[in-house]
Amino acid sequence: MEWNARKLLELSSGYWAGCAVQAAVRLDIFTVLAAGAQDEGELARTLACDRRGFAMLITALVALRLLERRANGKIAAPAEVLALLSRNSPDYLGFIIQHHAHLMPGWAKLAEAVREGKPTRADSASHTDSEAEREAFLLGMFNIARLQAEKVAEALDLSGCKRLIDVGGGPGTYAVYFCKKNPSLRATIFDLPTTEPFAKKIVARYGLAERIDFAGGDFLGDTLPKGQDVAWLSQVLHGETVDDAAKLLKNAAACLVPGGLLCVQEFVLDDDRGGPAHAALFALNMLIGTPGGQTYTAQELAVMMQAAGAVETWVLDVALPQSCQVLVGRMGGRV
């Protein structure tokens, strides 16, 4: 890529558009517009917004093609936008967008985090005392995982497996899709007790309460339920220090039967650490939000999985977005 002043300035100001989308979601503009086009002034009154500020936001959203002005002057949203941003849509992505908004203050202090080597957010999103932030984080994880969970479940061969534990599984999206794909599989979601209401809600939504249960605890300090055929860890290692990530893998491996599968999904860096951009930037997200989190290369993950007892490891053959990869390790012994 050849850099010039225009490209650099567009990169530096790129958060403007993101903040406009986040504001629109937090104000719930798209949910209201799902009922039909509305007069701009009436829409501002419905949402209890200042008329001048609201007009500016609407203009920005029209410019971003998230909204449109009709010939009669009314404001409407394209159907594909409403499908993703109306709270009443089954494909709603608003929770992860609200989570992004909660991350903004920490990102604004990135230089401080780099200089001092410690987080600029007081609490991680999953441990916060704010119910609204916890909901945005956990259901935001459902928003993201749901986009690729079916593809992962299709690619990962769990035939013959009876028990799966979703370690740090949050709302249990992957447990749901693995059980949908494998009718004889039962699963346990293991996460903090505060996560249980959200997980139960998602499991019930898919009619799987009889096959998926929840166990609350600390995945680093507590013993995980034994006798598992599969341990699934999706996007949890990056939140821990290197030592704790290795400890977590050993803890997960210890709950597996001989020959069981240790499965890790992460945003993975290239072995030369030259990219991809998403994995590299996500490492900075861990810098501002955790005491020792980071992203890893596939080679680094494989070494940690082998240290936990995997006798062979491989990368699952599935194309996923945002630099995601799934590594699978088979434990020693025979089933």
SS (H, E, C) 216-242: ECCCCCCCCCCCEEEEEEECCHHHCCH
Rg (CA), the chain: 22
Rounded-to-integer distance, Cα 217 and Cα 207, Å: 24
Torsion angle, CA of 325/331/332/335, rounded to 10 degrees? Answer: -130
- What value does the mean pLDDT of the chain take? 94
Do 307 and 218 belong to one domain? yes
Confidence of residue 182 (pLDDT cuts 50, 70, 90): very high
- pLDDT (mean) for 267-272: 96
Do 251 and 137 belong to one domain? yes
Residue 115 is assigned to a structural domain of this protein: no
> Kindly report the CA angle at 33 between 29 and 37, in degrees rounded to 5?
130
Do 169 and 71 belong to one domain? no
Residue 106 is assigned to a structural domain of this protein: no
- Residue 108 · residue 115 · CB < 8 Å: no
| pLDDT tens digits along 2-19 | 999 999 999 999 999 999
- Residue 21 · residue 66 · CB < 8 Å: yes
Do 244 and 317 belong to one domain? yes
Residue 183 is assigned to a structural domain of this protein: yes
Catalytic residue chosen out of the listed positions 102, 127, 238, 278 = 238
Rounded-to-integer distance, Cα 100 and Cα 281, Å: 14
Residues contacting residue 261 through CB under 8 Å, at least 6 positions apart: 158, 161, 229, 230, 231, 328, 329, 330, 331
- Residue 186 · residue 203 · CB < 8 Å: no
| pLDDT tens digits along 303-333 | 999 999 999 999 999 999 999 999 999 998 7
Do 172 and 299 belong to one domain? yes
Residue 104 is assigned to a structural domain of this protein: no
Do 187 and 290 belong to one domain? yes
Q: Helical H runs in the chain?
A: 5-12, 15-27, 29-33, 40-46, 51-63, 79-85, 94-107, 110-116, 131-146, 149-155, 173-181, 196-205, 242-254, 277-289, 298-307
> Above 60 in pLDDT, residue 248?
yes
Quick one: pLDDT at residue 128? 57
Do 244 and 298 belong to one domain? yes
Do 47 and 169 belong to one domain? no
CATH of the domain at 52: 1.10.10.10
Note the residue count of the chain. Answer: 335
Do 156 and 283 belong to one domain? yes
CATH of the domain at 317: 3.40.50.150
Do 154 and 84 belong to one domain? no
Do 189 and 297 belong to one domain? yes
Residue 182 is assigned to a structural domain of this protein: yes
Query: Percent of the chain beyond pLDDT 70?
Result: 97
- pLDDT (mean) for 181-198: 96
Give the residue numbers spanning the domain of 15.
5-92
Residue 121 is assigned to a structural domain of this protein: no
Residue 170 is assigned to a structural domain of this protein: yes
Confidence of residue 150 (pLDDT cuts 50, 70, 90): very high
| pLDDT tens digits along 116-127 | 999 997 655 445
Q: What is the b/e burial string over 266-299, where b = at least 16 CB atoms within 10 angstroms of the residue's CB?
A: bbbbeeeeeeeebbbebbbbbbbbbebbbbbbbe
Do 165 and 306 belong to one domain? yes
- pLDDT (mean) for 272-285: 96
Which of 92, 121, 153 is the last residue before a domain boundary?
92
**Domain total in the chain:** 2
Residue 55 is assigned to a structural domain of this protein: yes
- pLDDT (mean) for 120-140: 75
Confidence of residue 130 (pLDDT cuts 50, 70, 90): confident
238 is catalytic: yes
